[in-house]
Chain A
């Protein structure tokens, strides 16, 4: 608590939880990246690739991503409504239960409790826990919105509301299952239906955790950090509604050329292409906000994070729909190209925006100056170079892999065995690992900078 009555302890708690899970998730990421070219690292069942890969995705998606979202959401909600948290005790319980759930998730996945539904691997008791945690968050969100002092709800709040509602719908529908015992359950849906539900969930959980709330951060922190108002309010309105409308139709582009009925695949392609428009609505809104002030890319370290971040969002939302097209999908799907695609969004867009949001927020909630702007710049360059090297390596590797799978001899027989294609990627896997190390060092600099920031003496100037 401070003199404004805002409760920042939970913001701080979630921010440092996010940092903690970010470091853990990346260590596991490096470990499995190494296993990709050296299977000797599969030293116990608990550390085998099949089990650890899901610890990596859950640890970063839920541990880092969600904690970062909760930290910034609790901050933005209080500032944008000019209202203190209605239930600070509940928010604190939310923080502790969240971390306990992520720890339990990591241990259970390493123990092999895995429903195998991508991004929804947790077994049912943990699913129940996730729903409870989400309700705790939602109670605070809606209570603060109802009690708010500010009449109009700013753009960021729209995105937070959409996230809160949609994630609840997605998570509950996709995770419906029949329990066998405390540790195992079977999906309520079977075969093609199960696949359809899963990728409706899988695509949208990425959308409503890695796009929607990160856009909320972007719309709030970009004007704050640059001192410039968002270029067009009307464009934000159009972008918002068309984004959340179109998103939910597109999940089946993950299931191109599978036994899923073709009409669902075709509808998914059409809406995926349409989705470029609202995505770029936000990208353009961001760029135009800076019009006439592009010198900030040199003078304001935060602007760099936001603008390069939203650029990766723009590239991601072009690449996504294109690789959803049937012919391109036939070539790229199941290859490392897709892995490169995912990581441009997560290592580029999500991590850059959350980083900048934390750099803006942490000094303000703790009453301390940022420890080092120079280190923040080093962090920026390390994660930019690391991410680019990482994704470009995977794109090239993916093209090679796709081409080798498709290559035929003049007599029509296959030119390469599956293993030929795999082993030809090992050099790329080594490069990818090295790029991951560069990125990881950047994240360590980030964590160090924020830890040193809160360890300093409070400064009068920082509280603004």
Chain B
């Protein structure tokens, strides 16, 4: 019974035994095209959308919301077109989630106007009396920190120049602070007066919500 009296041999053998399944199902697929399909329709996040995504992660939204619609009839009816691998090419990390205390969000982009999201984030219960979602109105009280926005897009390989990132930030700020912004009244309602001319964390998470699934809709429209 050699191996049971040789701890180092035993450890090496154990390591080899656990690596068989690991190599076949995890390491090899890393280099296969089927796990990283590319699509011309799926664009990287803008820096504002990425900031919103980071806030989504910080608040642990993925504990309650999934971001993957399964190819099941009722699921497609409820949420929309089922999720495809190429949609997630820019997602580091993936946010598919494992639990639906709240609905799936993979097709939420464009489903509601911005004003809906501002109101819902501030007080989910004002929209759905019996919702158990925590209120996130305080996000509108935090100025959005964009000091690292460019470095984020660099690390994530989005290929923007620093100028492009600055432009994205300026453009989005101009959009949500414009007097003719279609969700102005609601935004003003949830945003403290001092921050109404600035970008807030709330603005970023709303931008992220509106991005989810939008590329797929354009992809389907083209097909």
As a 0/1 sequence over residues 120 to 132 of chain B, the CB contacts with chain A under 8 angstroms (1 = contact) are 0000110010111
Closest to A419 in B: B128
Judging by beta carbons under 8 Å apart, are A247 and B21 in contact? yes
CA distance A246 to B17 in the complex (A): 9
Given contacts A39-B124, A39-B133, contact A54 B63 (CB under 8 A): yes
Contact between A112 and B17, CB atoms less than 8 A apart: no
Given the known interface contacts A49-B134, A50-B134, the answer about A162 and B18 at a Cβ–Cβ threshold of 8 Å is: yes
Interface pair A192/B100, CB less than 8 Å apart: no
Smallest Cβ-Cβ distance to B67: which chain A residue: A258
Most buried by B among A246, A252, A261: A261
**A145-B7, A193-B29, A247-B18 known; A338 and B99 CB under 8 Å?**
yes
Residue in A161, A180, A248 whose CB lies within 8 Å of B151: A180
Q: Please classify how large the interface on chain B is, using the bins under 10, 10 to 19, 20 to 34, 35 or more.
A: 35 or more
Q: Is the CB of A198 within 8 A of B93?
A: yes
Contact call A153/B4, Cβ cutoff below 8 A: yes
Given A115-B93, A258-B70, A200 and B25 contact (CB-CB distance below 8 Å): yes
Q: What CA separation (Å) do A153 and B1 show in the bound complex?
A: 10
B166: CB under 8 A from chain A? no
| CB closest residue in chain A, given B125 | A39
Q: Residue B8 contacts which of A142, A191, A260, A338 (CB distance < 8 angstroms)? A: A142
Whether A193 and B35, one on each chain, are in contact in the complex, defined by CB atoms closer than 8 angstroms, is yes
In whole Å, how far is B209's beta carbon from the nearest beta carbon of chain A? 15
Binary CB contact string for chain B from 1 to 26 against chain A (1 if under 8 A, 0 otherwise): 10011011011001101111110111
**Residues of chain A within 8 A of B20, CB atoms compared:** 245, 248
With A50-B59, A259-B84: A152-B17 Cβ-Cβ less than 8 Å: no
How long is the Cα–Cα vector from A132 to B131 in the complex, in angstroms?
Answer: 43
B83 in the interface (beta carbon within 8 A) = yes
A99 within 8 A of B: no
A190 an interface residue at 8 Å Cβ cutoff? yes
Taking a contact as CB atoms under 8 Å apart, the answer to whether A49 and B7 are in contact is: no
The contact of B93 among A50, A116, A338, A339, by CB within 8 Å, is: A116
Question: Is A127's CB within 8 Å of the partner chain B?
Answer: no
Q: Which of A146, A200, A245, A339 contacts B99 (CB 8 A)?
A: A339
Q: Is A271 an interface residue (CB 8 A)?
A: yes
Which size bracket describes the interface of A in this complex? 35 or more
Please determine whether B29 and A169 come into contact, CB atoms closer than 8 angstroms: no
Q: Tell me whether A187 and B92 are in contact in the complex, defined as CB-CB below 8 angstroms, given that A39-B134, A267-B25 are known contacts.
A: yes
Residues on A with beta carbons closer than 8 Å to the beta carbon of B179: none
B98 CB-CB contact with A under 8 Å = yes
Cβ contact of A166, chosen from B18, B85, B90, cutoff 8 A: B18
Shortest distance between the CB of A102 and any CB in chain B (Å) = 18
B181 located at the interface, meaning its Cβ lies under 8 Å from any Cβ of chain A in the complex:
no
In the complex with contacts A37-B132, A241-B17, A334-B100, A191-B94 CB distance below 8 A: yes
* B42-72 Cβ-contact flags toward A at 8 Å (1 or 0): 0000000000001001111111101010111
Judged by a CB distance under 8 angstroms, whether A103 is at the interface is: no
- With both chains docked as a complex, state the minimum distance between the C-beta of A451 and any C-beta of chain B, in angstroms: 33
Q: Is B221 in the interface zone, CB < 8 Å from A?
A: no
Cβ-based interface call for B155 (8 A): yes
Cα–Cα, bound, A226→B132 (Å): 48
Determine the distance from Cα of A36 to Cα of B30 in the docked complex, in whole angstroms.
37
The answer to whether the Cβ of B113 comes within 8 Å of any Cβ in the partner chain is no
A193, B36: Cβ atoms closer than 8 Å: yes
Q: How far is the CB of B139 from chain A (nearest CB, A)?
A: 9
Q: A48-B134, A187-B92 are in contact. List 6 more A-B contacts (CB 8 A).
A: A50-B61, A115-B93, A184-B54, A190-B90, A196-B26, A198-B94
Interface residues of B (CB under 8 A from A): 1, 4-5, 7-8, 10-11, 14-15, 17-22, 24-26, 29-30, 32, 34-36, 54, 57-64, 66, 68, 70-72, 74-75, 77-78, 83-85, 87-103, 124-125, 128, 130-135, 138, 148, 151-152, 155-156
Question: Can you list 24 pairs linking A and B with CB atoms under 8 Å apart?
Answer: A36-B101, A36-B132, A39-B133, A42-B135, A116-B60, A142-B8, A153-B5, A158-B14, A180-B151, A181-B148, A188-B92, A190-B36, A191-B88, A191-B89, A192-B88, A193-B30, A195-B96, A198-B94, A244-B14, A257-B71, A261-B35, A405-B74, A418-B102, A419-B130
